[in-house]
Structure 1
Amino acid sequence: MAGKEDILTRARIDEALDGLPDWRYRLGGLVTAYKAPTAAAALELIAAVGRLAEEQNHHPDLDWRYNRVFIRFTSHDAGGEVTERDTRAAAAVSAAASAAGAAAEPGLYRTVELAIDTAEAAAISEVWRVALGYKRVEGGNDLVDPFGRGPNVWFQETPTPNSSRIHVDVHWSKAESGPVLEKTAATGASMNRDHAPDWVVVTDVQGNRLCLCTEEGYDPEA
């Protein structure tokens, strides 16, 4: 069992990822997607991942979409952060995917969060938790789906909430974010890059906001 003392720093995660080209770092986890030759081959890869998970007693979040398999490793017993158990598991899955003839497509793995501007998160978080059937993140008001299927909800506390209080954060890996930013800018949306490459605030012509985010600036020790 891992503990918070086993959480890898960003420097150690980045060092590990140098040897894990199939994988990207995302919000306290290692993520990737694999494209198998057929749907049947994707199922065989899922079975192989399941066997590895049992052998290592470390189980990923996994989603199957026809011939693609989306995988995320995180250490829940370390507060939902990356430990060496995750890097070992990712390496084993990469080997299994190669043996199955599956190609890594980590750029397909994107993560969506719902952000709510508020002057007092504690006053409203319970409404959202109950309505969504979510649970609280330890030590805070932010919310997560206990089954990892729906988007996280986090409360951006500010004394001056934006008039458009709810926005979506879309997380892409920095390595794949460039084309997304270019295509979004080409739609005519306004692009505030003051905090790039951590995030870019996008506002559509009606004033609705979303943020295109990367792993830059995310510190697991913060």
Structure 2
Amino acid sequence: MAGKDDILTRSAIDDALAELPDWRYRLGGLATVYKCPTSAAALELIAAVGRIAEQQNHHPDLDWRYNRVFIRYTSHDAGSAVTQRDIRAATSAGEAAAEAGAAAEPGLYRTVEVGIDTPDPDGISEVWRVALGYRKDRFGNLEDPYGRGPRVWFQTTETPNPHRIHLDVHRSQAESGPVMEKTAATGALMDRDHAPQRVVVTDSQGNRLCLCTEAGDTQVYPRHANS
């Protein structure tokens, strides 16, 4: 079982990822997508990852979409952060993917969060937690205990935006460029003051979303100020 003392620093994670080109760091976890030659091959890879999980007693969040397998490792018992167990598991899963003839497509793995502006998070968080069937994480964010729905977090501000709810769309910095360019081409307002960590996008009706990367994330999920 991992503990807080086992949490790796971002520097240590980046050093490990230099030897794991298939994987990306994402909000306290390691994530990738493997494209297999066939759907049957994807099922074989899933079975291989399952055997690794049982051998190492460390289980990933895993999603199967025809010939693609989405995988994310995090150490839940360390507060949903990256530990050496995740590095070891990702290494083994990568070896299994190579044996299956799978190609890594880490840019396909995106994570969506819901941000809510409020001067009083405690005054509303329980409503959202109960309605969604979520639980609180170590930072007071709300998360799906089964990893299916988006995390909900509360942006504390005395001056909430008129559009209080926005989405944070997380992609790896290495693959974020084309999405930024295509989004800008739609005519949306692009606030790049805090790039590359995030670019605040506002549509023609004032609705906001943030295109986020792992830049600046120190495994304590620094949240952005009112934007």
3-state SS of paired residue (1:127): helix
Mapped to 2, the partners of 1:217 and 1:121 lie a distance apart of 24
Instruction: Give the alignment's TM-score, normalised by structure 1.
Output: 0.98
3-state SS of paired residue (1:71): strand
Mapped to 1, the partners of 2:179 and 2:219 lie a distance apart of 25
Match of 1:104 in 2: 104
3-state SS of paired residue (1:219): coil
Amino acid at match of 1:166: I
Mapped to 2, the partners of 1:135 and 1:158 lie a distance apart of 23
Match of 2:144 in 1: 145
3-state SS of paired residue (1:146): coil
Amino acid at match of 2:145: P
Mapped to 2, the partners of 1:30 and 1:220 lie a distance apart of 12
Mapped to 1, the partners of 2:162 and 2:196 lie a distance apart of 25
Match of 1:219 in 2: 218
Q: Which runs of 5+ in 1 are unaligned?
A: none
Deviations 1:49-103 (A, max 9, x none): 0000000000000000000000000001111000000001000000000000010
Match of 1:114 in 2: 114
Q: How much identity, in percent, do the aligned residues show?
A: 73
Mapped to 1, the partners of 2:138 and 2:204 lie a distance apart of 37
Match of 1:158 in 2: 157
3-state SS of paired residue (2:160): coil
Amino acid at match of 1:108: L
Deviations 1:29-67 (A, max 9, x none): 000000000000000000000000000000000000000
3-state SS of paired residue (2:81): coil
TM-aligned CA deviation for residue 221 of structure 1? 4.9
Mapped to 2, the partners of 1:138 and 1:23 lie a distance apart of 25
Match of 2:70 in 1: 70
Mapped to 1, the partners of 2:220 and 2:211 lie a distance apart of 23
1:190-205 → structure 2 map (5 Å cutoff):
190-205=189-204
1:1-222 → structure 2 map (5 Å cutoff):
1-138=1-138, 140=140, 142-221=141-220
**What is the Cα-based RMSD across aligned positions, in Å?**
0.8
Amino acid at match of 1:144: E
3-state SS of paired residue (1:58): coil
3-state SS of paired residue (2:214): coil
Q: Which runs of 5+ in 2 are unaligned?
A: 222-227
Mapped to 2, the partners of 1:69 and 1:199 lie a distance apart of 27
Instruction: Give the alignment's TM-score, normalised by structure 2.
Output: 0.96
Mapped to 1, the partners of 2:26 and 2:15 lie a distance apart of 15
User: Residues 153 and 221 of structure 1: is their aligned pair in 2 closer, same or farther, counting only changes over 3 Å?
Assistant: closer
User: Residues 221 and 5 of structure 1: is their aligned pair in 2 closer, same or farther, counting only changes over 3 Å?
Assistant: farther
TM-aligned CA deviation for residue 220 of structure 1? 1.5
Mapped to 2, the partners of 1:21 and 1:111 lie a distance apart of 19
Deviations 1:95-138 (A, max 9, x none): 00000001000000000000000000000001100110001113
Answer whether contact 1:34 1:102 (CA < 8 A) is retained: yes
Mapped to 2, the partners of 1:174 and 1:139 lie a distance apart of 24
Answer whether contact 1:9 1:221 (CA < 8 A) is retained: no
My pick for the range that moved more, 71-80 or 131-140, is: 131-140
